[in-house]
A and B are shown apart, each in its own frame.
Chain A
């Protein structure tokens, strides 16, 4: 029983990130409005980025900017003093791609509305079937 509680407490933050991803995935599948689907896509993207950033954390380490870099060149830099910068770099690219995808998705939504005058998925499918 104690071992079960210790397993749960050590992995609890990963489970919370997975719950957030599943909220986004549910919104993409089950909601009928197109803008709600796009919001769900963005929630999924930011939850994945949160999960990656949590992989780079280290206890008792500071942010990856070297203080007094140009002044004290002599003291050695230990890798365990700084948190891992590599997930940060990859996630910067991921945020950029997320905002680019959001812009194109919203342009598509405006075009769909101009043709069908509605944003609900079932009404659009009914109009498609009538054509």
Chain B
């Protein structure tokens, strides 16, 4: 198998290298990739949408269909992970471990016996457990709120600086995953339950597609944000800028919920019982 792999790799590599002999010189301003529609996007973005970040304007306004289907792809990845891994039937685990906090003794409860009630003295720990460290807990508790504020800043300033809906949504999801890693997976479930995460996935796609449908109701084409000027009461150029902000918020919500949902299912292998 390895010799076949080396033969295929050399064949493909040689073919691709032969193709690069026709490529333009690196960094050529007159390369065909920079000639036809890209100068129009660069020159007309400020006067048509008043958004200085050209990449965000092209992503959410000029090529808005692609971004909508990209959001739908992320949503379907979350749904596929739910279908593959999730086990809804509550199976009694064979052993549960509880720890008595004041003395530090670990109790092992066999199958069928009654576990102690969750109170201030007893806490449940995972089977493959690592000692929950005070330093890790405290520093994660300091980092999580500031990273969430930074994520909201990235979403809101996508017009003027590098960023946008997708990057901010991933950082929001990563902050919740940090909380779940440093503390307990179950304490993360208590704050962002599975139902909330799945609902937020759908809400993000709904906001994006709903903005397009709202444009049809107001009499214009699908995903034409200039029609939103009737609701906001501003000229169509500023309405396009606001429309870009709304769909970026929708993309951010969907991406955050899918990242959290993927982590929940992968770390606990579908049972939502114990995890990393």
Question: Once the chains bind, are B58 and A89 in contact (CB under 8 Å)?
Answer: yes
Docked CA distance A38–B84 (Å): 17
The majority secondary structure among interface residues of chain A is: helix
Whether A110 sits at the interface, judged by CB under 8 Å, is: yes
By the criterion of a CB under 8 Å from any partner CB, how many residues of chain A are at the interface? 55
**Chain A residue nearest in CB terms to B269:** A110
How many Å from the CB of A58 to the closest CB on chain B?
Answer: 5
Question: Once the chains bind, are A107 and B80 in contact (CB under 8 Å)?
Answer: yes
| Residue interface bits A88-131, CB-to-B below 8 A is 1, else 0 | 11101100110011011011101100100000000000000000
**A79 touching B42 in the complex, CB below 8 Å, given contacts A59-B27, A70-B52, A85-B54:** yes
Whether B53 sits at the interface, judged by CB under 8 Å, is: yes
Docked CA distance A7–B22 (Å): 11
How many Å from the CB of A53 to the closest CB on chain B?
Answer: 11
Question: Once the chains bind, are B12 and A54 in contact (CB under 8 Å)?
Answer: no
**Chain B residue nearest in CB terms to A77:** B43
| Residues of chain A from 10 to 35 with CB closer than 8 A to chain B in the complex | 10-11, 13-15, 18-19, 21-22, 25-26, 29-30
Whether A84 sits at the interface, judged by CB under 8 Å, is: yes
Question: Once the chains bind, are B8 and A54 in contact (CB under 8 Å)?
Answer: no
**A97 touching B34 in the complex, CB below 8 Å, given contacts A7-B21, A89-B58:** no
Which chain A positions have C-beta within 8 A of B84? 104, 107-108, 111
Question: Once the chains bind, are A79 and B38 in contact (CB under 8 Å)?
Answer: yes
Q: Which 6 A-B pairs have the closest CB atoms?
A: A69-B52, A79-B39, A100-B77, A30-B5, A59-B27, A29-B5
Chain A contact residues, CB within 8 Å of chain B: 7, 10-11, 13-15, 18-19, 21-22, 25-26, 29-30, 54-59, 61, 63-67, 69-70, 73, 77-80, 82, 84-90, 92-93, 96-97, 100-101, 103-104, 106-108, 110-111, 114
28 A-B pairs (CB sep. < 8 Å): A11-B20, A15-B17, A15-B20, A18-B13, A21-B16, A22-B9, A22-B13, A25-B8, A29-B8, A29-B9, A30-B1, A54-B26, A55-B33, A59-B28, A59-B29, A65-B160, A66-B53, A69-B52, A77-B46, A79-B39, A85-B41, A85-B58, A92-B166, A96-B74, A103-B258, A104-B80, A107-B85, A114-B269
Chain B contact residues, CB within 8 Å of chain A: 1-2, 4-6, 8-9, 12-13, 16-17, 20-21, 23, 25-29, 31, 33-34, 37-39, 41-43, 45-46, 50, 52-55, 58-59, 63, 66-67, 70, 73-74, 76-78, 80-81, 84-85, 160-162, 166, 255, 258, 262, 265-266, 269-270
